[in-house]
A and B are shown apart, each in its own frame.
Chain A
Amino acid sequence: MSRFRRAARTATAFAGWLLGWAAWTLAALVVVFLVLDLLPGDAASARLGQNATPEALAQLRAQYGLDRPVLVRLGEWLRGLASGDLGNTLLSSAPIGPMVATALGRTAVLAAVAAIGIAILGWGGAILSGIRAGSPLDRVLSSTALAAICTPEFVVATVAVVVFSSALGWLPAVSLLPAGGGVLDRPQILVLPALSIAIVGSGTLMRLVRPIVAREAASAHVEAARLAGLAPSRVLVRHLLPGALAPAAQASAMLVPYLIGGTVVVERAFAYPGLGSLLVQAVANREPGLLMACGGIVIAVTVFAYRLADLSQTDRS
């Protein structure tokens, strides 16, 4: 009985958590929709460019339905969202749903590879630094991480291309997919973009996790284990890391939004046809539906990650 009650309570809490996530995401989407509408320029002015005349603009806006009040368009978009219909692009009248899904799939693969890189470099660096805080190794690693954080992704990307593509010729400089094929048909195209994201991202993660490891390393129970003569690896795995895990996980969750932001920049530099490239195109063409779909995914994932980080904090206290 009590087990049932506990399960029910967990389920309710989970449902509440999901509901909160959905509510926050929706609120953010509505704000974004309204803010986008305030920006100068729209799909009609983007399409007509210097051929814009007041009549042509008015005609195209009417054709695109952009002449209707913003709240009407918002309502229509929300209704579409609820029924799973993301609509079509205004300019090319291509369905947005499949377009975004394909791009999201490619981005997810890239982000996953980059995340593994970030985890290895970031956590590895943090542990090496944190367990011997103040040592020369710590100082070298910490300043390297700081340098990595301060370097824009496109600079890292350019350097990576110069070294691994132009000079060594090991990897392609541009991440081109085979015609009609997928990423896994040509996995080598993922290496340089993932590396560029991982270098910058792991710097941030390392700086976030290192103090947690250092604090834990200086704690009484770890000190006691060390004094008891346990092997350093055993101290690390059994005594130090368990205490660092929750706060470090929280720090890692905070990195998810970065992972998305970094992907946008890097995709463009490598001409990788993912969500980031699509988002840039949506902005350039002022495609409201496409922008909301791409932006919506970014927002949903970001809110999810932050709430996850919050959750682990609540659990801990």
Chain B
Amino acid sequence: MASPLSRRPARRLLAASLATALLGLAACGAGPDTTPATTGASPVEGGTVRVAILGGQTDTLDVTKASSFLVYGVALNIYDSLVLVVDGKPELQLAESITPDAGATRWTIKIRDGVTFHDGSPVTADDVLSSLKYLGTAPNYGSMFADVDFDQATSDGKLTVTLALSKPRADLIESVLSQISVVFPAGTTDFSKPIGSGPFKVESYSAGTGAVLVRNDDYWGGAPKLERLEFIPIADATARMSAITGDQVDYATGVTPTGIETIQEGSGIVVQDPGAAESSAFEFMMNQAKAPFDDPEVREAFRLAIDREALVNVVFRGKGTVGNDVVGQGMVGYDDALKQRERDVEKAKQIFAAKGVTTLDALASEMTPGITDAAKLMAQQLKEAGVEVTIHEADPTTLFNDLSVVRANDLFSFYAINRAFAAHATMFLTDGAPGNYFGSQDEELTTLITQAQAQTDEAKRSELLNKAQELVWSNGTDAVWGFQPVLAAHTENLTGVRMTMSVPLFAQAAYQQ
């Protein structure tokens, strides 16, 4: 049901009680984290971390068939990825270099020498290519790898893979490979006890009771300090919170803002808040394909009319970052020079009045908790600007089966995983992009993105992408109002846990004494 592309199940559970949120003040004992000051403390060798994570009884450890986060949590700790996004930036892991040719249609991936799988066999380019093929042809990743022509891809059998693309993609690393590029032995089809080359090895897995991982003493990046990890499936966010406060686990992923408000001072539990880099972007999409949002001035008026801070305070209970109409905040390639748009109800009111806009229709479908609340609060805010918003609710499970339901509206309360702008633009903004639900057209933006995809000079590419972001900010169809981080809670003497794609990485984690 979910790839890292769609964090639906977790997000749904992540803020299960937000629906009743009234006035959110960011009042809370457990501040935006993270690890306590560890003066005088030193990391100790060994120890077990019990991890509460969204999981279920139907899971197998095959990432192409994952329906929950447990599978990714295990995968990203037992496999090496070619590259991973950590703290918003791509970080090479198994790959030593990933380089394009001048036209960005041919990429060369060189992997580290001397890396071995858990069974002792060497990791070769054949394993890399075979893994990428397996991932790239699976339904949940197929669209992401659509521009990779696997028939033309080659491996030298040692350390080098060459990928041929059907069109230039200078953004291959951030848009494709850093989304998923785990490597397992060529020809693996049985994932009941998978083998990787990562910092931990699978000792056992049983759906329902979870996975036990043990340290890989031969890890090329240095053996982890932690001896053992237990990934325990817990579907309910409240239960995950109870498990950590009751000392049944040491680390709980995907906890809710209301959940962390129950953490008591001195309980020894701290909150890990990764900020916008590991978050979901919440926005109102405007329908540019019909009046009144075909008029850029009316779009401007809408963006001035909404109160982003109030939305973040109420819908996220203050646990989030205010948005500025461009997705990708906190990620590589974000244009920090963009001025934060402030609310200006008077100006919005004038424009709406001058354009004769008095009513709007908005679609809200609870794909994740908070979508409907956001729409309702937005309707109140728009009333102050003299516009009456009617909210239409739709069933999220079937929403995308029939886009005419979406297109009948002027506004769409929506969320997407926060990705680097280049990746988000190709998925949601350009003409014909799969997530361009309203069929909005912007020739200038599409051209800029296409040019950026063909530009391998980093400085020039970043200039093109900044131009595109300015365009989206001033003239685009999205009112991005906030970023909701993926929150985790853990015992305070556990440090060094990093987060990627909403799951924790334990290679560098350790208990402090």
Contacts and interface: CB of A to CB of B under 8 A. Distances in A.
Interface of A: 40-41, 45-53, 56-57, 59-60, 63, 89, 91-94, 99, 102-103, 106, 161, 165-166, 172-174, 176-181, 268-271, 273, 277-278, 280-282, 284-287, 290
A49 B240 CA distance: 24
Given A46-B1, A99-B58, A269 B401 contact: no
Interface of B: 1-3, 5-6, 8-9, 52, 56-60, 62, 65-67, 139-140, 142-143, 204, 206-212, 230, 232-236, 238-240, 242-243, 245-246, 248-249, 367, 395, 397-398, 400-401, 416, 434-435
Given A99-B58, A165-B246, A59 B209 contact: no
Given A91-B1, A173-B248, A269-B236, 10 more contacts: A41-B395, A50-B416, A51-B400, A52-B401, A180-B209, A269-B238, A271-B235, A273-B233, A281-B235, A284-B1
B235 A287 contact: no
B243 A176 contact: yes
Contact of A94 (B58, B239, B245): B58
Contact of A181 (B57, B207, B209, B395): B209
B235 to A, nearest CB: 7
B493 to A, nearest CB: 20
A270 B434 CA distance: 39
Given A94-B207, A179-B209, A268-B236, A40 B58 contact: no
Contacts of A50: 6, 8, 367, 400, 416, 435
Contacts of A63: 139
B236 A273 contact: no
A48 B400 CA distance: 9
B6 A173 contact: no
Contacts of A180: 204, 206, 209, 212
A280 B235 contact: yes
Contacts of B139: 47-48, 56, 59-60, 63
B209 A49 contact: no
B9 to A, nearest CB: 7
B175 to A, nearest CB: 14
Nearest to A189: B248
B57 A278 contact: yes
Contact of A179 (B60, B204, B239, B401): B204
Contacts of A285: 1, 58, 67
A49 B6 contact: yes
Name which of B59, B62, B238, B240 has the most chain A CB atoms within 10 A of its CB: B238
Contacts of A278: 56-58
Nearest to A154: B238
B6 A51 contact: yes
13 contacts: A40-B395, A41-B395, A45-B398, A94-B60, A102-B57, A173-B242, A173-B243, A176-B243, A179-B210, A179-B211, A180-B209, A271-B235, A273-B209
Contacts of A161: 242
Residue from the set A41, A178, A271 with the largest chain B CB neighbour count within 10 Å: A271
B242 A174 contact: yes
A183 to B, nearest CB: 10
A176 B398 contact: no
B315 to A, nearest CB: 19
B245 A166 contact: yes
A176 B248 contact: yes
A45 to B, nearest CB: 6
Contact of B58 (A45, A48, A268, A290): A290
Contacts of A280: 235
B230 A179 contact: yes
Given A45-B401, A285-B58, A174 B6 contact: no
* Shortest Cβ-Cβ A-B pairs, 10 listed: A273-B208, A41-B397, A173-B246, A52-B400, A173-B242, A49-B6, A40-B398, A271-B234, A271-B239, A174-B243
A46 B3 CA distance: 11
A140 B120 CA distance: 70
Contact of B246 (A40, A53, A174): A174
A281 B212 contact: no
Residue among B143, B230, B395, B400 facing the most chain A CB atoms (10 A cut-off): B400
Contacts of A47: 1, 67, 139-140
A268 B1 contact: no
A97 B416 CA distance: 36
A102 B143 contact: no
Quick one: which of A166, A177, A269, A284 has the most chain B CB within 10 A? Answer: A284
A56 B242 contact: no
A277 B394 CA distance: 26
Nearest to B142: A56
B208 A177 contact: yes
B8 A277 contact: no
Contacts of A91: 1, 58, 65, 67
Contacts of A46: 1, 397
Contacts of B245: 166, 173
Contacts of A51: 3, 5-6, 140, 143, 400, 434
Contacts of A286: 397
Contacts of A45: 397-398, 400-401
Contacts of B65: 91-93
Contacts of B236: 268-269, 271
Nearest to A43: B1
A238 to B, nearest CB: 48
Given A102-B208, A179-B209, A174 B234 contact: yes
- Between A89, A173, A178, A277, the greatest number of chain B beta carbons within 10 A of the residue's beta carbon is seen for A173
A180 B67 CA distance: 20
A45 B400 CA distance: 8
Contacts of B240: 271
A181 B212 CA distance: 12
Contact of A174 (B58, B66, B248): B248
A90 to B, nearest CB: 9
Nearest to A286: B397
A102 B47 CA distance: 31
Contacts of A48: 6, 139-140, 400
Nearest to B66: A92
Nearest to B59: A92
Nearest to B415: A50
A173 B235 CA distance: 15
